[in-house]
Amino acid sequence: MASARRVAVTGLGLVNPFGGDLADFFGRMLRGESAIRLYTREDDVLKPLSVPAVRCANFDADAALGRSLAYTMDRYSQLGTAAALSAWSDAGLPRTREAPRNDWGVSWGTALGGTLTFESGYIEMLRNGRERVPPLSVVLGMSNAAASHISILLGLGASSATYSVACASSAVAIGEALPKIRSGEATLMVVGGSEAPLSYGVVRAWEAMRILALGDEASAVRACRPFSSDRQGLVLGEGAGAMILEDWDHAVRRGARIYAEFAGCGSTSDHEHLVRPNVEGQTRAMRMAIQNGGLAPDEIDYVNAHGTATREGDPIEIAAIRGVFGSRSAEVAVSATKSMHAHMLGATGVIEAIITVMSLASQDAPPTAYLDDVDSECTGVRHITGGSLRSGLRAALSNSFAFGGSNTVLAFRAVH
């Protein structure tokens, strides 16, 4: 039986709230800069919104995609398609669309899909008295719309799959592409996720759970403080990220730049509770990712934590990390970058995977912003605070955990 093929990460792309390119975004992460601002929304009928959040305010869909194409997309598809095209270009792949490549595919994640399209239609009918919604509502709002657009634009003839696993959606999408390339079913996969969750109804729904962080204009920037003794909850955000995963030998033959090796993935279910996380399930997922990647726990130098800044979730994740690394836990660097880019729900996994890959490529990992006083229940690991790590990194994990008890962990190995 042939040995499994190695998988290279050859392209990275994102649409981020700072509005700059990949290097600018990662530089801001290393400096601990937060994109969180106060998001306000006034309405003649509905109660005004005012919550800390992250918006991609500088994103111009018409400029990125062309007006006629952007018109046929919900915002989540616009963000996702733009991120995928950016990753494609970063990988040095041609944009000239010839015959579809039947060994190239797309694997995408979103928790909510086209929620803005559906909410707009409901408002038009139920409040404004329209008799019907716009005729493109279904194809704009469907959860597989982003993957479909990416497949069509890039001529990807292999599988086009969309995964909706709450906050782990894009991490699952990345993980599901791994065996396709390892087995030879696919040579190249565009993977990632996108989310545009800042609709009135979605924000109000998260508010009702009482786990959103609060803040005013001045304090919003530091509203998300994972692992901090005074943390108060998560912050919602929108955005998109994409990666090009490629058969290693194929990447080498075409002279591609390789950021890192996608070594392994571990996915588990807590099988216990819809919203309460579980130490054992998270521990198993991390161990599975390490084993699946042919790594040893001693090789893992950095963990990009799920770290949402909730009272219950943060200590459980730290306990799981301690369970995996044991006596070496104090040496394993940990940071939660949601403190800066917020929680983009289904898109967060790929954003954090990109940060993890860039950390390995640059040998520098970002901090958890505004972590001034570590909660006593979150100690025992090497929290990166006050600046980037600036230390050698061999391999790293990116954790994504979701409502429903779904845990997905991605393992990456540095290329030297």
In angstroms, the CA 284 to CA 297 distance is 13
Active-site residue identified among 56, 149, 167, 224: 167
Active-site residue identified among 56, 149, 265, 343: 343
Rounded-to-10 torsion of CA 12, 17, 18, 23: -10
The CA R_g of the chain, rounded to the nearest whole Å, is: 20
Q: Is 250 a catalytic residue?
A: no
Q: Is 416 a catalytic residue?
A: no
- The partner residues of 236 in beta bridges, in order of sequence, read 53, 343
Active-site residue identified among 56, 149, 265, 306: 306
Q: Is 343 a catalytic residue?
A: yes
Residue owning tokens 């962990």: 409
- Residues assigned a catalytic role: 167, 306, 343
